[in-house]
Structure 1
Amino acid sequence: MIFFHGNAGNMGQRLSNVSGFYHKLNINILMVEYRGYGLSEGSPSERGLYVDAQSALDYIMHRTDIDVSKIMIFGRSLGGAIAIDLASRLEYRNKIWALVVENTFTSIPDMAQVILKWKCLNWLPPCCHKNKYFSLKKMAHVMTPTLVICGSNDALVPPAMAKELYLRCGAVCKKLVVMPGGGHDDTWTCRDYYSSVQQFLVNVPPLPGEIGPFFDDDTNSTKRHTIVHTV
């Protein structure tokens, strides 16, 4: 798993969540610290964070001690926008096995309307926003099996945005999970959080060209699933 964290803080503040992934799902994790965050040099920018994500995946693809056919990317909030951008790029489409995004938004202009509640923002051209992160538009180009998670009590990013992202996603294998009581920063502490991720990954088919097609238990035929699920 390549882990892209949210806007506030740094990757050290996500260690408890990452420890859960490691111990409960038995997976290895690469935590990415964006430019300008934590101890990383430079200044953050939308383009810069996209490049950081691409560099992380390129690095993993050149490792010889891991199974590069099962690389998944995870992003929470801002990290979700970064993960969606990475998965939407044609050059990386067949390199990512699974995408998991949590409590992420459709775009920065959409979030500006939610937070500021200024109706005049509806008429503001996108070029007026310094950062855009047009995740909803990019989701149509995401063909990677995708899990969209949101907390029902997220007071920052409206849970309705998760449904929009799910519906727009171009993947055949996709799943939407709403965690009851989950807030923006603590959805990962909900009871069924890790088991929901695990159940999704069990149904993710292999990358194109890899050995071992996904078989349906009942028909024993090759089949991809589209799943909508609320825990």
Structure 2
Amino acid sequence: MNDSSTLETSHLPSPGRWHGLAAVVAIAALLVLSGCASLDDWQRQKIYRPTALQSAAEWQRLLATRGDVQALTVPVGGDGEQVQVLQVAAQPGQAAPVRVFYLHGTYRHAWQNLNKTTPMLRAGLDVSLPDYRGWGASSPRVPSEHSIHADAWAAWQALQAAALREGRPVRWVIYGHSMGSAVAVQLAQRLRGTPAYCALVLESAFTSFPDVAEAGVGWFGRQLTLLGGERMASIDRIAEVSPPVWLLHGSRDDTVPLALGRRLYEAAPSPKQWRTWPLGHSDLQTDPTGAYDQTWREIAAGCR
């Protein structure tokens, strides 16, 4: 199995960018200087940029457009709050023995990330995509690192219980894209030493929020990020996950520099794989050469 892939194709735009990071830093500076008590809420809103659906009717209309997509409602957090989990089958009506637990990044909700599941489905993997509270049809809130991790854990537990009710063995791939890579790492760390998952796959991953801020706008960006409580510091946890670990990254990623993904890879336990494509932050699934699809076939074969 090759340690890396280098492919040439045209540069496509990266739909998952954290747009305007410099502007966020500038406004945060003003808030700090003015002593604004709501800096934390403001910062969390700007960092995560959750995209919610406008109504339950919109959610039902979306579900009606895809017969292969089902929704699972999971209670979380008390007070009637919930997360919605999209479930997509590689072969409708037939449950796959290997499934992907897909943890998405900032901004786009699960439905808007369905296009990224295509290579997984082609590899014969079913995919489950939870929306954290604040995204999609899940309960509204300004998310935090704590709430996002809690939502991922609640969705994970619900899916494990559902698999047990099926009465057949299921193996899981934990996959995280962008911010979701940090959620995936913390979940994998929590499950370390158990047979709960067969692979950890991190795409467009970073070491920590402060590192991303520093890479984007320099030392001042790091300091302002440190004023809040959001860290998503995968670099502090990656050594404590169970391998195999796969890191996938675009060499033209202008949101999360390739160097941050490589640093996380170096700190990960072996066996591990590092794969790169000359693409951006959120478009590796568009690789025209078939190598990205092949990577998912290798992940699926390893789990089987």
- TM over 0.5, shorter chain: yes
Q: CA deviation at 1:146?
A: 1.0
Match of 1:51 among 146, 150, 159: 150
Equivalence map 1:58-97=2 (5 Å): 58-63=157-162, 64-65=165-166, 67-90=168-191, 93-97=194-198
> Which residue identity lines up with residue 282 of structure 2 in the other structure?
D
Partner of 2:281: 184
SS at match of 1:53: helix
Partner of 2:29: none
Q: CA deviation at 1:65?
A: 2.3
Partner of 2:127: 29
Percent of counterpart pairs with the same letter?
A: 26
CA contact (8 A) 2:120 2:296 kept: no
**Pairing 1:113–2:214 present:** yes
SS at match of 2:197: coil
SS at match of 2:276: strand
CA contact (8 A) 2:119 2:296 kept: no
Larger mean CA deviation between 46-55 and 60-69 belongs to 60-69
> Which residue identity lines up with residue 138 of structure 2 in the other structure?
S
Q: Quick check: which has more Rg, 1 or 2? A: 2
Match of 2:201 among 94, 97, 100: 100
Residue ranges of structure 1 left out of the alignment (5+ in a row): 207-231
Structure of greater relative contact order (alpha carbons < 8 Å, 6+ residues apart): 2
Match of 2:272 among 169, 174, 183: 174
State the number of aligned residues.
Answer: 200
For residues 60-87 of structure 1, the C-alpha deviation after alignment (integer angstroms, 9 at most, x for no partner) is: 2112227554111111001111101100
> Which residue identity lines up with residue 57 of structure 1 in the other structure?
W
Q: Distance in 1 between matches of 2:246 and 2:175?
A: 9
Q: Distance in 2 between matches of 1:88 and 1:182?
A: 29
Q: Distance in 2 between matches of 1:29 and 1:66?
A: 19
SS at match of 2:166: coil
Residue ranges of structure 2 left out of the alignment (5+ in a row): 1-99
Partner of 1:155: 254
Equivalence map 1:117-128=2 (5 Å): 117=218, 119-120=219-220, 124=223, 128=227
SS at match of 2:296: helix
TM-score of the aligned structures, taking structure 1 as reference length: 0.79
